[in-house]
Amino acid sequence: MSSDDVMQEIERLRAGDPLAAQSLWERYFEKLASLARGKLVSIPRRAADEEDVALSALESFYRGVANDRFPRLDDRFDLWKVLVTITTRKATAQRRRHFADKRGGGGVRGESVFAGAAGDSQPRAGIDAMAHDEPTPELAAMLAEDCAGLLARLDERQRPIALLKMENYTNQEIAEQLDIALRTVERRLEQIRELWSTSQ
């Protein structure tokens, strides 16, 4: 799916077209489930199913698009960063709930210690107040800008490989899509890692 195709699907989604939601689900569900699986590796499968996390992330994305929560969705790269952010937050929340239950199911005082003192006129919220289902527009924009900066450091041979890798394609799939040798993909990925590590 090209960036133009992605933007057409998002415009259709904004207009309430259920076929657009289905198209994006078919494109990204398995990739997001795979991402969630990696984040939930230490949690029993029954307690946290990666498919539930991916489904919840897509539903949150659909609501966010309908409510104009994502001001920067200019291409498939911006879309992928938003989906990754939502999925990661949901997986992290699932892990937090799982381990909180193991530590006493809420009976143990945690980050509430950070709440404002009784005399505070404006009490401060705990850590949970920082976690939302969707990224804020500011965070989505910041992620897109950071990634755009990293991509700008790549040449025209490296950039498509980096984009496909970020979309969770295997090295073999990238080689097939770009019609280049697997070793070429591996070599360019090594170059990208080295280049990006110097930008930290």
d(CA 122, CA 32): 38
How confident is residue 70, by pLDDT bands cut at 50, 70 and 90?
A: confident
User: Cα-flanking dihedrals φ and ψ of residue 97, to 5°?
Assistant: -65, -45
Contact present, 33 and 54 (Cβ < 8 Å): yes
Task: Tell whether pTM > 0.85.
Answer: no
Tokens in use for 137? 């527009």
Of 32, 47, 55, residue with least CA distance to 99? 47
Question: Is the residue at 42 inside a domain?
Answer: yes
Residue 129 lies in a domain: no
* Least confident residue range of 37-46, 135-144, 158-167: 135-144
- CA 197 to CA 150: how far, in whole Å? 10
- Judged against a pLDDT cut of 80, whether residue 131 lies above it is answered with no
> Is position 199 within any domain?
no
Within a domain: residue 84?
yes
Q: What is the CATH number of the domain that holds 21?
A: 1.10.1740.10
Residue 192 lies in a domain: no
Q: Give domain status of residue 154, yes or no.
A: no
For 26-36, the pLDDT digits (tens) are: 888 888 888 88
- The answer to whether position 56 is within a domain reads yes
Q: What percentage of the chain has pLDDT greater than the value 70?
A: 68
